[in-house]
Structure 1
Amino acid sequence: MAFVDKYGPWALITGASAGIGAEFARQIAAKGLNVALVARRRERLEALGEELESEYGVRSLAIGADLCSDDFLSTITEALGTRHVGLLVNNAGSGMTGEFLDHDLDDELQMLALNCRAPLVLAHHFGRRMRDDRRGGIIMLASVAGIVPTPMFANYSATKAWNRFLGEGLHEELARDGVDVVSLCPGLTQSEFFEHVNVDPSNWPAPMRATIMSAEDVVKAALKGLGKHSQVVPGLSYRMLMRLSRLSPGSLTPWMIDRVMRFALPKS
C-alpha cells in the first residue's frame, strides 16, 4: 500500500515543537499526510504547521497539551474532532542526567508520566481504532539507552527500555491486524535535548562528537523501518555498539558507560 493509504489521512506527533518531533512532522508531511502536532509550545506548532502547509500542501493542526496532565487525552481528542489518525508518533520525552538520588523525586515521577504513561495512553486509544481499520502505524521513541543500562541517566534509561519493550511487544500483537509498530532507538541526536540536560558536546573529543546524528537521518531510518522491523537503531556506529554490548560480560557495559557519562557531563 502507498504510505498515505496505509497510514493516512492524519499523523499525530507528540513533542513536535523541535528536534526529532519537528523532523518527523516534516518528513511525514512530505509523504502527503496531514499532521496533528502536539506539544506545550503551541506557537511553535502553529509556525511549523504553516511551513508544512505551504511547502507540502497538507493540512495541519496545532494542539497545545501537557502530556503529564491527567486529562491530556481529552484535550487531544477534542481538538482532533472527526479527524482520523492513521499514524501515531510517540516522540515526546524528557531526561535528567546525574546521580539518581540527587534528583527531586517529583521530577523523576514527572519523567515517568511523560515518557511512559503518555505513550501508553495514546497507543491504547489510537491503536484500538487502527486495529478496527486493519491498518495504521505506531512509532515508539526508545533509545540505545533503553537497550543497555545507562548510569547517570538511570531513570531515563529505564523509561526508554519500557518504550522499547512495549513497542516490540505490540509489533507482534498488532501485525496480524495490519498495524505496524516499531521501536526507534537512536543514540546521540542533535536537538534541544543537550540544552535541557545541560550538556555541551563541543567540549567532547572528536570521536565522541562524530557519533552525534542528525534528526533528519534518525527519522529517515524510523520511517524506512516502519512495517519492516520491530526495532530500528539508526547509525552504523550504534548498531556496532549494540552488538558489542551483547558480547560483553553483563557488568562491563554499564561500568564503561558510567565512566563515559561522568566524563561527558558537566562537573558540579
Structure 2
Amino acid sequence: MAFVDKYGPWALITGASAGIGAEFAHQLAVRGLNVALVARRGERLEALAEDIELKHDVRTLAIVADLTAADFLDTITAALDTRHVGLLVNNAGSGFTGAFLDHDLDAELNMLALNCRAPLILAHHFGRRMRDHRRGGIIMLASIAGIVPTPLFAHYSATKAWNRFLGEGLHEELARDGVDVVSLCPGLTRSEFFEHANVDPSGWPAPLRATIMTPKHVVKAGLKGLGKHSQVVPGLSYRMLMRASRLAPGSLPPWIVDRVMRFALPRTH
C-alpha cells in the first residue's frame, strides 16, 4: 500500500512549530500527506503552514492549542472538523535538567501532562478511528533517556520511558488491526530543546558534540521504521550505546549517565 493510502490523507503533528515536529511536517508533506500542525505559537504555525504549501502540493491546517489544558482535545477535533487523521505524531514534549528535588512541583506536573497525558488522550482518540478504518499509524516520541534512567533528568527520563512502553505495547496490540505504531528514541538532537532544558553543548568535548543529530536524520529514521519496528534508535553511536547498556550490570548505565550529566551541567549540580 502506498504511504499516502496507508497513513493519509491527514497527519496530525503535535509540537509542530519547530525542531523535530516541523521536520516531520516537511517530510510527511513530501510524501503527499496533508498536515495538521498543533502547537501554542500561532505565528510560528502559520509561517510553517505557508512554507509547506509553497513547497509541496498539500493542504495544511494550523491548530493553536495548549496540550496541558483540560479540554485540548475539543480544540483539536473542532478544528479538524471532518478531516480524517491517518497518522498521529505525538511529538510535543518538554523537559528540564537539574536536581529533581530542587524543581517546582507544578512545573513537574505540567511536564507530566504534556509528555504523558496528552499523547495518551490523542493515541486513544485517533487510534480508535484508525482501528475502525483498519489502517493508520502512530509515532510516539520517546528518547534514549527513556531507555537508560537519566540522573539530573530523572522525571523527563521517566516520561519518555512511559511513551516508549506505550508505543511498543501498542505496536503489538494494534498490528492485528492494521495500525502501525513505533516508539522513536532519539539521542541528542539539535533543536530548541537544549535551550528549554538549560543545556549548552558548546563546551562539550568534540566526540560528544559529534553525537548530536539533526531533526532531519531523526525524522527520516522514524518514518523508515514505521510499520517495520516497534522501536527506532537513530544514529549508530546511540544504537551501540543501547546494546552496551543491555550487556552491562543494571546499575552501571545510570552511573555512567550520572557522571556525564554532572559534567555536561556544571552550573546545575
TM-score normalised over the length of structure 2: 0.99
How far, CA to CA, are the matches of 1:86 and 1:265 in structure 2? 40
Match of 1:21 in 2: 21
Distance 1:205 1:253 in 2: 20
What is the CA–CA distance in structure 2 between the aligned matches of 1:182 and 1:193, rounded to whole Å?
22
In structure 1, distance between residues paired with 2:199 and 2:215: 18
Cα distance in 2 for partners of 1:252, 1:176 equals 38
Alignment deviations for residues 21-67 of structure 1 (CA, whole Å, 9 cap, x no partner): 00000000010100000000011011001111111111000000000
1:213 aligns with 2:213: yes
- 1:128 equivalent to 2:143? Answer no
Q: Which residue of 1 aligns with 2:159?
A: 159
Question: Which residue does the alignment assign to 2:102?
Answer: 102
Q: Which amino acid aligns with 2:195?
A: E
The residue type equivalent to 2:104 in the other structure is D
Give the counterpart letter for 2:15 in structure 1.
G
C-alpha RMSD of the superposition: 0.6
CA distance in 1 between counterparts of 2:163 and 2:45 reads: 25
Report the CA distance between 1:197 and its aligned residue.
1.3
AA in 1 matched with 2:230: S
Which whole-Å CA distance do the structure 1 matches of 2:42 and 2:131 have between them? 30
**In the aligned structure 2, how far is the partner of 1:253 from the partner of 1:183?**
21
> Aligned letter for 2:4?
V
- Is 2:186 aligned against 1:202? no
Aligned position for 2:187? 187
Counterparts of 1:48 and 1:82, CA distance in 2:
23
Contact conserved, 1:29 with 1:58, CA < 8 A, in 2?
A: yes
Specify the alignment match of 1:48 in structure 2: 48
Shift of the alpha carbon at 1:115?
A: 0.2
DSSP-derived class of the 2:182 partner = strand
Note the C-alpha offset of 1:266: 4.2
- The aligned counterpart of 1:236 is 236
Q: Are 2:96 and 2:198, in contact at CA under 8 Å, matched by a contact in 1?
A: no
1:169 counterpart residue number = 169
Secondary structure of 2:67's counterpart equals coil
Say whether 1:66 aligns with 2:66: yes
8 A Cα contact 1:11 1:33, kept in partner = yes
1:223 counterpart letter in structure 2 = L
Corresponding residue of 1:91: 91
1:220-252 alpha-carbon deviations (Å, 9 max, x no partner)? 000000000000000000000000001111111
Moved more, 245-254 or 173-182: 245-254
Distance 1:97 1:82 in 2: 41
Question: Where do 5+ consecutive residues of structure 2 fail to align?
Answer: none
For 2:109 and 2:184, locate their aligned partners in 1 and report how far apart those are by CA, in whole Å.
Answer: 23
Give the equivalent residue in structure 1 for 2:138: 138
For residues 25 and 208 of structure 2, the distance between their equivalents in structure 1, rounded to whole angstroms, comes to 28
TM-score w.r.t. the length of structure 1 is 0.99
- Whichever residue aligns with residue 9 of structure 1, its letter is P
- SS of the equivalent of 2:123 reads helix
Q: Report the AA paired with residue 233 of structure 1.
A: V
* SS in structure 2 of the partner of residue 13 of structure 1: strand
Q: Deviations over 1:132-168 (max 9, x none)?
A: 0000000000000000100000000000000000000
How many residue pairs get aligned? The number is 268
Retained in 2: the 8 A contact 1:199–1:266? Answer: no
Unaligned stretches of 5+ residues in structure 1: none
Could you give the per-residue CA deviations for residues 86-110 of structure 1, whole angstroms, max 9, x where no partner exists?
0000000000100000000011010
